[in-house]
Amino acid sequence: MSRFDAVAAARGDRPFDLLIRNVRLVNVFTAEILPSDIGIVGNLIAAVAPANTLGPAENVIEGGGRYATPGFIDGHVHNESSMVTPAEWARVIVPKGTTTVCTDPHEIGNVLGLPGIRYMLQASEGLPLRYYVAGSSCVPAVPSVETAGATIQAAEMAELLSWDRVIAVAEAMDYMGLITQTGNITPIVEKGHEFGVAIQGHAPGVVGPHLQAYLAATGPRGSDHESMMPDEMLEKVRAGMLLFARVSVYMDTSPSLVGAMQQVNDSRLFGFCTDDVFPHDLLREGHLDFGLRRIISHGVDPVRAIQMATINVANYYGLHGHGAIGPGYLADVLLLDDLEAISVTDVIVDGRHVVAGGEWQVPLEQPIPPLLDNTVRLPKLDEADFWPTLDAPDGPMQVNAIDMSQFLTSLKQLELEVSDDRVRLPLPDDICIASVVPRHGQGTTPSLAFLSGYGLQRGAVASTVAHDSHNLVIIGKDPASMLAAARAIAEMQGGFVAVDGDETIAALPLPIAGLMSPDSMADVAAQLQAFAAAVTQLGLPPMIPLTLIILALPVYPMIRLSDKGMVDVATQQLIPIAAG
Amino acid sequence: MSRFDAVAAARGDRPFDLLIRNVRLVNVFTAEILPSDIGIVGNLIAAVAPANTLGPAENVIEGGGRYATPGFIDGHVHNESSMVTPAEWARVIVPKGTTTVCTDPHEIGNVLGLPGIRYMLQASEGLPLRYYVAGSSCVPAVPSVETAGATIQAAEMAELLSWDRVIAVAEAMDYMGLITQTGNITPIVEKGHEFGVAIQGHAPGVVGPHLQAYLAATGPRGSDHESMMPDEMLEKVRAGMLLFARVSVYMDTSPSLVGAMQQVNDSRLFGFCTDDVFPHDLLREGHLDFGLRRIISHGVDPVRAIQMATINVANYYGLHGHGAIGPGYLADVLLLDDLEAISVTDVIVDGRHVVAGGEWQVPLEQPIPPLLDNTVRLPKLDEADFWPTLDAPDGPMQVNAIDMSQFLTSLKQLELEVSDDRVRLPLPDDICIASVVPRHGQGTTPSLAFLSGYGLQRGAVASTVAHDSHNLVIIGKDPASMLAAARAIAEMQGGFVAVDGDETIAALPLPIAGLMSPDSMADVAAQLQAFAAAVTQLGLPPMIPLTLIILALPVYPMIRLSDKGMVDVATQQLIPIAAG
């Protein structure tokens, strides 16, 4: 038994399995750096003692004065955003120091429901990455205005929370539902209270009485990773929320967070997470190590920053034995050449020396559990489905359109020509058509809207990564190109395509739920880069298709297109195409 | 439903049940003091907002700028040491600010086993005091050298941990058993790991490899309340132990603890407890409030001290919703006139304003559950049982005795006269006889030993409070007085007596398990004071009978007397009376 042997080694009656000798230990209990040895037996830390005093051991890692920190914990992340399987994700993020994640599988949950979440758990079994799951609470994100592939309500949440490795209720995005104690989210969060787990918050801009109401609803284990401004952060942490710094290339809240931290006298309620990181960013910039570099560069003491990415998050989730280096803790240890640069050289997970000098030391094979069905189940389509009908006499007509020229979209009124009850083609230069095609077998017809300011000059782009319901979103200049894009996507069983007429000029197949690839992250990143380059042929700037994948997200400001139609996010009402 | 209404009040759609207006809130999340209002609905804090901004409310407490802190949590305590029932204990300690306790019922556990612990849970149901229990792990303390009224092993621990309100494994006193992974304690602690609860430590003077081994055994949720010296404390907190300041009149470790705190950069692993406080000390000096005054007087910032007695302990036990004032937390709030003096004026528990201006506002009645049996089940006794036999020829003989002249007893060799195989009476001036009479129906005969330096000149004193096995301990000058003391104790069904010849000159009946009185704490304290005064007639200094109640404690240095005989605490071996 591992604990029995660990105790024996600690008291000196048998050798350690592994000794990490002479490190500068980042002690997250006391916020000190102490020259130390670390003795490991099985998957446990058996003893921590002053440098060069422990031994003997079967195997020795010479620390040589390097820093030793606990393995990093990502407090809120979506595996699916990496577009690869859990094993491939682990292969990339573990060498960067992430040894524990709390992932919210709400992308695959929106496609497949509980079987999708079970798939992620199965696909992560036995990995050298502690893979915990937060039960997705908002599937679909806004039931009244969109259709996902599955629905998670209170009964499903109770089922999820009974599963091994499911440790929290995931981000409660429907904050108005909680504040008003209405909707699916209220009984779902009650299940979290029954199971006694942390309730991840999601409350962008929620302050004042609404914040108090939100926390009265989510209870004493709330958190937030959506705050942008120091004053909002300060109010939240004072109210007892664990505040996650969300740091990635895409979104870096660390300057604000540093501002908030400097105004309080205790940092235990500051945590760390990445949320969504795309494959090319993971490969190029890193994972939590990137965020730690950022927040340290903004003036946070490195030891405090390490606490944020380790013990503070472990305490929030009640992950006892995680997030610190001490006797009796799980043996997840990083060695770093430099504490400010967070340059991880070695990673020990569960007592195994899995990464040395940045290189994997153990095989990392994980069979991909078979998914039963093609998840791209489109209705029968023809060109007419992508040619907007306009109920007006021939001639000019005022229509509502989504203006894409700013990242936060807006409503814009346009004049278009009507001919035989349809918009006259070709469309004016700045205008194109967007469609959300139901891909979960709903059997409904595609929704349609006009876009301005998108830049597309010809052809079409399409994606089944379309947060959060992950229907098929297509933006095209003409119905024929859009139909071609839909057919290409169906053939690949999901992913991204760019088409020019009949020709597919770039494609990234994501056959796992239309969200993930079975291939390596390097391959996926290369295909994404090729996609970004190819779309310049269609008049678009070279881009990773971020605006495409959030066009259908009905909780993201200001105007979105769901499978049911145009959505005014502020009011959660559908907007007709005909203006006025 | 309380939460539903709390959320409604927080967002402004209904009045609060109770509003505490205009306080200086001690925010334990951020270690700040912030002018605030606190809105309460049912048993929940619904909202915390800047002072004089919340309302309306059904009832208002005008804070008038007083300090508001979370209710204090006693992290390790034995209710039985107060010698009163849970309800009476609550009546005294709640007005002093203690709203939550984690009590280890190992005194009654040693007498009655699990039924005794269930009794304490029943007797505390519905009190305005959150009464949590740590499952007693060392019943008896040292099975090899003493006999208690019950035995708790791994199966009983599993049963205990399945009960409501049992939240931890209580102090693992058999630290050598854990370090060597032997004895009852190892499988008992494994049950704690299975249930995922905190494992309270008890490791006086344990440092170095033994400390690492102890923590490898108790796991990542260890603690200690027995450390005396700053260096020992520092080593423990760096190893991840929650370190309880144990502060009472009897035992104040706060100066050392302050020394340790000043050397580290994070105080989250410093907690607070009282352990054992006698009734007169509770009444005169206070409970956690006394300890907080002490540690603040030694230089700890009051806000840090409050964190130690609230959120730090709540986090250690995973008592979510306890230990802080924030929306969604349980409504346990104190109002204090002065933060350094910890002068508590008002106490709100579970949303009820139970104490105002120091006075109880609600009835506090708690029927005492009936205990089935008299717990003082002595063998048939006569004078000869208290007259030591000495297997030697008539004349002088060297005997081993317990020297009581120092608080930590020692072994002393004496010359006594033998006559007809018994010690010759009367005994020399400085010598008296001690006996531990089995009182749990063991059916064995009393153990006997000689004491020197105790001071008793005549008569006898006796107690069924005799840690931890709580047999009947008697110290007397002659067998007749000792027999009289035993009979008086049996008649009272336990407690303390002092006898002079046949006359009982002082008595404190403790008929609840021989440990507690059904009377008020004031009555008990008065009887104890009368006892202390009366024993001067017997030649003893006026004393609360502390040396008496720990004479039989075989884990307390250096020489003790159990029901099996004299014990060398260091070696856990029995010592014969005959010396040499």
pLDDT in tens, A316-373: 999 999 999 999 999 999 999 999 999 999 999 999 999 999 999 999 877 777 776 7
Average pLDDT of chain B?
95
Residues of B in contact with A239 (CB under 8 A): 29, 48, 326-327
Whole-angstrom distance, CA of residue B387 vs CA of residue A24: 64
% of chain A with per-residue pLDDT over 70: 99
Q: What dihedral do alpha carbons A55, A59, A64, A70 form, nearest 10°?
A: -90
Q: What pLDDT, on the 0 to 100 scale, is given for residue A520?
A: 95
Q: The sheet that has A198-201: what strands, in order across it?
A: A72-77, A98-103, A130-135, A166-172, A198-201
Q: What pLDDT, on the 0 to 100 scale, is given for residue B1?
A: 58
Q: What pLDDT, on the 0 to 100 scale, is given for residue B372?
A: 66
Q: Is the pLDDT of residue B236 over 90?
A: yes
CB distance from A407 to chain B under 8 Å?
no
CB distance from A542 to chain B under 8 Å?
no
Q: Is the pLDDT of residue B546 over 90?
A: no
DSSP for A453-483, written as a single string: S----SSEEEES--TTTT-EEEEESSHHHHH
CB contact under 8 A, A239 and B48: yes
- Opening angle at CA B51, ends B46 and B56, nearest 5: 55
Q: What pLDDT, on the 0 to 100 scale, is given for residue A372?
A: 66
% of chain B with per-residue pLDDT over 90: 91
Query: Bigger pLDDT: A501 or A389?
Result: A389
Q: Is the pLDDT of residue A247 over 90?
A: no
* Cβ within 8 Å of residue A105, ≥6 positions away: A78, A79, A80, A116, A117, A120, A133, A136
Kindly state the DSSP code that residue B369 receives in the 8-state scheme: P
Query: Bigger pLDDT: A250 or A304?
Result: A304
Place of tokens 């109920």: A391
Answer for the pair B400, B577: CB distance below 8 angstroms, yes or no.
Answer: yes
ipTM comes to: 0.95
Which residues 305-324 of B are in CB contact (within 8 Å) with A? 307, 315, 318, 320-321, 324
pLDDT confidence of A143, banded at 50, 70, 90?
A: confident
Beta strands per DSSP E along B494-579: 495-500, 503-509, 559-562, 565-568, 573-575
Of B4, B268, B329, the CB nearest to A220: B329
CB distance from A145 to chain B under 8 Å?
no
**Interaxial angle between packed helices B208-218 and B230-238, expressed in degrees from 0 to 180 and rounded to the nearest 10:** 40
Can you tell me whether residue A358 is helix, strand or coil? Answer: coil
pLDDT in tens, A185-221: 999 999 999 999 999 999 999 999 999 999 999 999 9
Whole-angstrom distance, CA of residue B134 vs CA of residue B168: 5
Answer for the pair A291, A95: CB distance below 8 angstroms, yes or no.
Answer: no
- Asked which of B91-100, B197-206, B370-379, B418-427 is least confident by mean pLDDT, the reply is B370-379
pLDDT in tens, B25-48: 999 999 999 999 999 999 999 999
Kindly state the DSSP code that residue A298 receives in the 8-state scheme: T
pLDDT in tens, A18-35: 999 999 999 999 999 999
DSSP for A143-160, written as a single string: TTT---S----HHHHHHH
Q: Count, in order, helices (H) and strands (E) of chain B.
A: 17, 29
% of chain B with per-residue pLDDT over 70: 99
Average pLDDT of chain A?
95
Number of Cβ within 10 Å of residue B491's Cβ equals 14
Q: What pLDDT, on the 0 to 100 scale, is given for residue A1?
A: 58
Place of tokens 């524990």: A100
Burial of A266-300, coded b for 16+ CB within 10 Å and e otherwise, reads bbbbbbbbbbbbbbbbbbebbbbbbbbbbbbebeb
Instruction: Classify strands B333-336 and B573-575 as parallel, antiparallel or unpaired.
Output: unpaired
Q: What tokens does B341 get?
A: 């003096």
pLDDT in tens, B159-183: 999 999 999 999 999 899 999 999 8
pLDDT confidence of A396, banded at 50, 70, 90?
A: very high
Which residues 320-349 of A are in CB contact (within 8 Å) with B? 320-321, 324, 326-329
Q: What pLDDT, on the 0 to 100 scale, is given for residue B304?
A: 98
Q: Is the pLDDT of residue B55 over 80?
A: yes
Of B7, B209, B315, the CB nearest to A213: B7
Q: What dihedral do alpha carbons B375, B380, B384, B387 form, nearest 10°?
A: -20
DSSP for B123-178, written as a single string: HTTT-SSEEEEEEP--SSS-TTT---S----HHHHHHHHTSTTEEEEEEE--HHHH
* Cβ within 8 Å of residue B245, ≥6 positions away: B253, B254, B257, B270, B271, B272, B273, B291, B295, B308
Residues of A in contact with B321 (CB under 8 A): 219-220
* Cβ within 8 Å of residue A479, ≥6 positions away: A383, A384, A385, A386, A387, A425, A433
Helices (H), A416-565: 479-492, 521-534, 546-549
Q: Which of A530-544, B62-76, B361-375 has the highest mean pLDDT?
A: B62-76
Whole-angstrom distance, CA of residue A124 vs CA of residue A368: 9
Please compute the mean of the pLDDT values over residues A146-164 and round it to a whole number: 97
pLDDT in tens, A512-557: 999 999 999 999 999 999 999 999 999 998 877 788 999 999 988 8
Whole-angstrom distance, CA of residue B21 vs CA of residue B38: 6
Question: Which is it for the CA torsion A75, A78, A82, A85, positive or negative?
Answer: positive
